Amino acid sequence: MSRLTSYAGKSALITGASSGIGRLLALRLSRAGARVALVARRESELRNVAREIESGGGEVLVLPCDVADRAEVFACAARAVARLGDVDILVNNAGYGHHRPFLDWELDDMERMLRVNFLGTLYWTKALLPQMVERGAGWLVFVASVAGKLAVPDESAYVASKFAMVGLAETLSIELEDHGVHVLTVCPGTVNTPFFDSEALERMPPVARRMMIDPDTVVTATLDALARGHHEITVPRMIGAGYVVRAVAPAFMRRRTKRTTIGAVAQRRTSS
C-alpha cells in the first residue's frame, strides 16, 4: 500500500485538465504544492486554468495535445519530463461521451471515443510509466466511470471504453504493486460537468439526475483515496451496491437497469 499524503515537490500531469474534474484536481494539487502539467486539446481553456494556478504562486506547464494521437502524446510526455523532471503522478482523466442507441451511432464517432477514452489512457501510461518503474515510485490515477462497472443502455461505445479502462487499471495495479507504483481507479457516477450536453440531459433517466454530484466531490474522494492507499473507489459509495446486486442477482439487475433507463426515458417522452 502506497499512501500519498504530501504533494510538496511532486509533479503531476493531468489529462482533460481544461474543465470539470481535471481542472479542479489541477487546482487542488497545485495548492498542495505540486508542479502541474495540464493536457487537453483546447489551449485557450488550458491557459485559463494555468492563470488560476499561477495567481496562487503555482508552477504550471500547458501542453495542448490530442490524447488520441500517439505521436502527440509521446512528444508532450517528453516535454513534460524535460520541464518538470520525472512525473510522479499521472491522472488519466480525458474523455467524452454521447448517449444514443448503438444502431443510431455513427461508427466514426464510436471509434473516436474509444481512441480518446481508452487509447489516450494507454498512450499516456505507456509514455510515463517506465520512468516511474525505473525509480520505484509513482502514482497512476484512472478516472473511469460507474459505466466501466455496470452496463448502461444508449452508451455502448462509452461503456466499452470505460470497461477497458477499468480492466487496464486493475491489471496494472497487480503488475506494478511490487515495483513501487500505486494505481487508483476512480468510478464516478453522474457528475455535473460540461460532459453532459443538452442531448445527454434529455435522455438521462430521472434516477441519474437525482444522483448527480459536483466534481469537487469526486476530487475530494480521489485525494482521500490516494492518502489512504486505496486501489479503487466509487463516488458516491452507495452506487457500489449495484456491483454486488449484479454479481448475485444478474437477472434482477438487468430488469432494473432496463426499467430505470430505457423505460424511464420512453415514459417521459410519452407523457410530454
Taking the CA atoms of the chain, what radius of gyration do you get in angstroms? Answer: 19
Smallest Cα–Cα separation from 60: which of 23, 94, 95?
23
pLDDT tens, residue by residue, 149-159:
999 888 999 99
Taking CA atoms, 168 is separated from 156, 174, 192, 242, in Å, by 18, 10, 26, 21
Query: How high is the pLDDT of residue 265?
Result: 46
Ranges of residues in the chain with a pLDDT under 50 are 264-270, 272
Instruction: Order across the sheet with 60-64: list the strands.
Output: 60-64, 35-40, 11-15, 89-92, 138-143, 181-188, 232-235
Query: How high is the pLDDT of residue 264?
Result: 46
CA pair distance 272, 264, nearest whole angstrom: 12
Query: How high is the pLDDT of residue 15?
Result: 98
**Can you read off the three cell numbers belonging to residue 18?**
481544461
Beta strand 89-92 with 138-143: parallel, antiparallel or unpaired?
Answer: parallel
The CATH class given to the 11-271 domain equals: alpha beta
Q: What is the pTM of this model?
A: 0.90
Query: How high is the pLDDT of residue 99?
Result: 84
**Contact status, residue 231 vs residue 173, Cβ threshold 8 Å:** yes
For residue 164, the Cα-to-chain-centroid distance in whole angstroms is 12
Query: How high is the pLDDT of residue 14?
Result: 98
243 is catalytic: no
Q: Which residues contact 135 (CB under 8 A, 6 or more apart)?
A: 86, 180
**Contact status, residue 72 vs residue 80, Cβ threshold 8 Å:** no
Domain ranges of the chain: 11-271
Query: How high is the pLDDT of residue 209?
Result: 59
Select which of 7, 96, 158, 243 is catalytic: 158
Beta strand 35-40 with 11-15: parallel, antiparallel or unpaired?
Answer: parallel
Query: How high is the pLDDT of residue 268?
Result: 46
Query: How high is the pLDDT of residue 203?
Result: 58
